[in-house]
């Protein structure tokens, strides 16, 4: 870094993205002020308590608070006065009853901040938004008292839940959507420690920066649904999708990441992002370009149906008066995020079909109880499996992958298991006397 003073950083929104970004910027040595309109959340974060589970982040939060470099507030005026660079990290959920993204939180953040900006600064959008959003927000910033001294950039995030700290401090790349050289140089100053460590930088325009994130998620969703479509074909032919994906992974043009068949993707990003991408394509008159994403979405949802069908086969055609153990509630391991969780969707549907469902997850129990109060919950995998007629492994936590089939077999009523993530060794479970089924495998 140069001898110039380090810019002071603010972060608007302290959800998953914002809290992670604020903590990591403070870890890099910046003075950071993070804002949220939720007073209880601000109080908790100020006390070193995270409102969600993310490995490594709690320790880093407490460490950076102790240095004095990280603070939290509910005041937009304080943020406007403090910051040289303002990162907008608020959510863009799917609109109720629509595919389109809800930009109300983004618009509110910009509308609240702009009238208070009295001196030159850079406002950086990190939220996932439809292409063309930044151009409209630039108009809002033009109304700031500091006028042309307030600049806009778009810097999309590429965080993976469970690896957010690593992805922030050691990202694959940095994307800068800018309209002038001054904005680029400011971003280079903010990310100087990462750039010095060799992280590649892509400098582009607003629209391309916005598209990078949604295009990446659309590609990943397509790859997941591709192998799940192959699982459907494997079931029809007697082939093994696990062996198929393993063979495909040796092809360097394809690779093995995101090529694991199972009950499909969920969470707060991939499902809503591909739907918002389709909606935006329709608004732009190029809906046919992304029509394939409708099938990507449909394949993904069909996997949940197939899991239920296989579970029904294991219970001899009915869920009435059957006890089902569901291992997993989070949409993925190393997270407590249950948004659009395939595991909980399946569990809830089994409940409504007459099953007595017991759910266990290492981290997502509190969230699951609030969102799905009609389900029953256990204190451990063994408790969930007690007297179960069938066990469904639906989130591939390490502790589930490492379960001893003999130990689990001692507590169930029937040794029947559905491996919804193709994460278990079929031979090991069958040799222990279990009736093992999985999606896309004999």
By annotation, the residues acting in catalysis are 269
Phi, psi of 54 (to 5 degrees): -155, 120
Token readout for 325 is 């153990």
Cβ count within 10 A of residue 67: 11
Phi, psi of 307 (to 5 degrees): -60, -40
Strands (E), 197-340: 201-204, 323-327
Q: How far apart are CA 362 and CA 367, in angstroms?
A: 12
For the chain, how far is it from start to end, CA to CA, in angstroms?
58
Sign of CA dihedral 329, 335, 336, 338: negative
Q: How far apart are CA 267 and CA 161, in angstroms?
A: 9
DSSP string for 331-345:
SSSS----TT-HHHH
Phi, psi of 287 (to 5 degrees): -60, -30
> Which helix or strand (DSSP H or E) is residue 177 part of?
strand 174-178
Instruction: Say if residues 135 and 165 touch (Cβ distance below 8 Å).
Output: no
Report the relative pairing of strands 150-154 and 174-178 from DSSP bridges.
antiparallel
Where residue 340 falls (left for φ over 0; alpha for ψ -120 to 50; beta otherwise) is left
Q: How far apart are CA 26 and CA 33, in angstroms?
A: 9
Residues linked to residue 390 through DSSP beta bridges, in sequence order: 324
Token readout for 65 is 């608070």
Where residue 359 falls (left for φ over 0; alpha for ψ -120 to 50; beta otherwise) is beta
Total residues belonging to the chain: 442
Token readout for 425 is 């060794």
Sign of CA dihedral 118, 120, 121, 125: positive
Cβ count within 10 A of residue 432: 15
- Return the C-alpha torsion angle 415, 416, 421, 424, nearest 10: 30
């Amino acid at each position: 870094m140069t001898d110039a003073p380090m810019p002071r950083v603010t972060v608007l929104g302290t959800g998953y993205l914002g809290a992670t970004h604020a903590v990591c910027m403070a870890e890099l040595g910046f003075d950071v002020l993070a804002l949220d309109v939720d007073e209880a959340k601000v109080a908790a974060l100020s006390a070193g308590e995270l409102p969600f589970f993310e490995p490594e982040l709690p320790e880093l939060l407490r460490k950076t608070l102790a240095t004095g470099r990280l603070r939290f507030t509910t005041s937009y005026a304080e943020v406007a006065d403090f910051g040289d660079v303002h990162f907008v990290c608020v959510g863009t959920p799917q609109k109720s009853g629509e595919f389109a993204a809800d930009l109300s939180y983004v618009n509110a953040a910009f509308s609240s901040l702009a009238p208070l900006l009295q001196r030159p600064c850079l406002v950086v959008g990190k939220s996932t938004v439809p292409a063309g959003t930044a151009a409209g927000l630039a108009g809002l910033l033009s109304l700031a008292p500091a006028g042309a001294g307030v600049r806009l950039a778009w810097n999309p995030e590429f965080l993976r839940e469970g690896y957010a700290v690593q992805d922030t401090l050691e990202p694959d790349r940095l994307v800068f959507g800018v309209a002038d050289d001054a904005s680029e140089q400011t971003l280079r100053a903010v990310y100087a420690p990462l750039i010095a460590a060799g992280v590649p930088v892509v400098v582009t325009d607003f629209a391309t920066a916005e598209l990078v994130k949604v295009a990446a998620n659309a590609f990943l969703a397509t790859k997941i649904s591709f192998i799940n479509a192959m699982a459907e074909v494997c079931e029809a032919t007697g082939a093994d999708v696990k062996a198929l994906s393993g063979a495909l992974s040796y092809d360097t043009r394809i690779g093995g990441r995101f090529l694991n068949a199972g009950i499909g993707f969920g969470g707060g990003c991939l499902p809503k992002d591909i739907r918002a991408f389709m909606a935006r394509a329709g608004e732009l008159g190029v809906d046919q370009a992304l029509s394939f994403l409708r099938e990507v979405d449909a394949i993904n949802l069909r996997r949940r149906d197939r899991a239920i069908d296989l579970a029904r086969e294991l219970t001899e055609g009915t869920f009435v008066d059957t006890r089902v153990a569901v291992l997993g509630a989070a949409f993925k391991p190393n997270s407590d995020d249950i948004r659009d969780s395939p595991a909980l969707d399946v569990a809830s549907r089994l409940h409504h079909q007459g099953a007595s469902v017991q759910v266990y997850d290492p981290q997502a129990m509190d969230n699951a109880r609030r969102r799905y109060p009609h389900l029953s919950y256990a204190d451990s995998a063994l408790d969930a499996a007690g007297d179960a007629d069938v066990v469904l492994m639906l989130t591939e936590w390490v502790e589930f992958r490492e379960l001893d089939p003999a130990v689990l077999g001692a507590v169930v009523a029937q040794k029947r298991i559905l491996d919804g993530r193709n994460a278990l060794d079929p031979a090991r479970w069958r040799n222990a006397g279990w009736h093992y089924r999985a999606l896309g495998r004999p």
